[in-house]
């Protein structure tokens, strides 16, 4: 058992609470409160797991970060659900020429494509939608992201999984009026958190809860989606 623990430490797959967190280069999420909870922002490489229902504002959470990170490298979209509109990315200030769309419907092919994009160095970010993913698959993505200095945003809809994935950061998202409730369940060099609120009105001041619309709110106001809207 001691040899196994030592092996996991050497591979940096095990972190002890008594250890001082190592320095991790980070980039702002665009939301001050989220940056504070993450110690400065998203890690500059690795896998970031977002456990979320579709269409509750999960892409809005990434918009400021992706827009600020736009450069010469590509953003790959793999397994993009039909319910999500590709044009929503242009509202982020991202040109279609910066997007690489992979249309494969097979999970293994999607994972293979994500790994190739990450380690190629041609992509700064890879967005991958996967309902089920195994530990060894997540580990391969983590290694590829570190190799290519890229960020893998992994969208999952965890239902009965009893294990955590070997990722740099894992967050659960839940819809709330004006934004999202975020729970950090795992972060490299840091601690999990209780749920906290990320207010999105700084970017979308027109967002209001649905119940206010019935109280005479002008029809030009767009309600924040509490569930998927096509």
- The pLDDT, as a whole number, for residue 154 is 97
Whole-model pTM: value is 0.80
Q: Say if 195 falls within a structural domain.
A: yes
- What is the rounded distance in angstroms from the CA atom of residue 45 to the CA atom of residue 202? 27
**Count: domains in the chain:** 1
Reported as a pLDDT band with limits 50, 70 and 90, residue 218 is very low
Strand ranges of the sheet holding 123-129, from the earlier edge strand across to the other edge:
99-102, 74-78, 123-129, 151-156, 46-51, 169-176, 179-187, 196-199
CATH number at residue 75: 3.40.50.300
**pLDDT tops 80 at residue 223:** no
Going 87 to 90 to 92 to 94, the CA torsion angle's sign is positive
Residue of 36, 39, 58 whose CA lies nearest to 49 = 58
Q: Say if 7 falls within a structural domain.
A: no
- The pLDDT, as a whole number, for residue 214 is 47
**pLDDT tops 50 at residue 53:** yes
Question: Across residues 145-161, what is the average pLDDT?
Answer: 87
Q: What are phi and psi of 154, to 5 degrees?
A: -110, 110
Residue of 156, 130, 160, 167 whose CA lies nearest to 58 = 156
Q: What residue numbers bound the domain in which 150 lies? A: 24-213
- The pLDDT, as a whole number, for residue 11 is 54
pLDDT, one tens digit per residue, over 23-37 is 688 999 999 999 999
Q: What are the respective helix, strand and coil percentages of the chain, to the nearest 5?
A: 30, 25, 45
Q: Say if 220 falls within a structural domain.
A: no
**pLDDT tops 70 at residue 84:** yes
**pLDDT tops 80 at residue 43:** yes
Determine the angle formed by the axes of helices 135-147 and 107-120, rounding to 10 degrees: 20
Q: What is the mean pLDDT of the chain?
A: 82
Residue of 113, 54, 115, 53 whose CA lies nearest to 82 = 54
Q: Say if 18 falls within a structural domain.
A: no
Q: Say if 71 falls within a structural domain.
A: yes
Residue with the larger pLDDT of the pair 195 and 216 = 195
Please give the distance of CA 123 from its chain centroid, rounded to a whole number. Answer: 15
Q: Say if 70 falls within a structural domain.
A: yes
């Amino acid at each position: 058992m001691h040899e196994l623990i030592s092996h996991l430490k050497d591979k940096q797959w095990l972190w002890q609470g008594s250890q001082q967190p190592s320095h991790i280069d980070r980039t702002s999420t665009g939301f001050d409160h989220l940056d504070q909870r993450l110690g400065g922002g998203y890690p500059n490489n690795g896998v970031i797991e977002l456990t979320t229902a579709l269409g509750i504002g999960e892409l809005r959470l990434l918009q400021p970060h992706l827009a600020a990170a736009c450069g010469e490298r590509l953003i790959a979209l793999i397994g993009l659900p039909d319910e999500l509109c590709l044009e929503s990315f242009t509202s982020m200030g991202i040109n279609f020429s910066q997007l690489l769309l992979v249309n494969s419907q097979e999970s293994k092919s999607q994972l293979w494509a994500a790994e190739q994009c990450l380690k190629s160095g041609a992509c700064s970010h890879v967005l991958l939608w996967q309902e089920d993913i195994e530990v060894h698959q997540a580990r391969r993505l983590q290694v590829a992201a570190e190799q290519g200095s890229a960020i893998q945003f992994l969208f999952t809809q965890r239902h009965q999984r009893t294990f955590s994935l070997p990722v740099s950061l894992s967050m659960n998202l839940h819809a709330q009026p004006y934004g999202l409730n975020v729970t950090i369940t795992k972060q490299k060099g840091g601690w999990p958190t209780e749920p906290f609120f990320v207010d999105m009105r700084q970017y979308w001041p027109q967002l209001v809860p649905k119940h206010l619309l019935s109280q005479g709110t002008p029809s030009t106001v767009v309600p924040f989606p509490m569930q998927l809207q096509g």
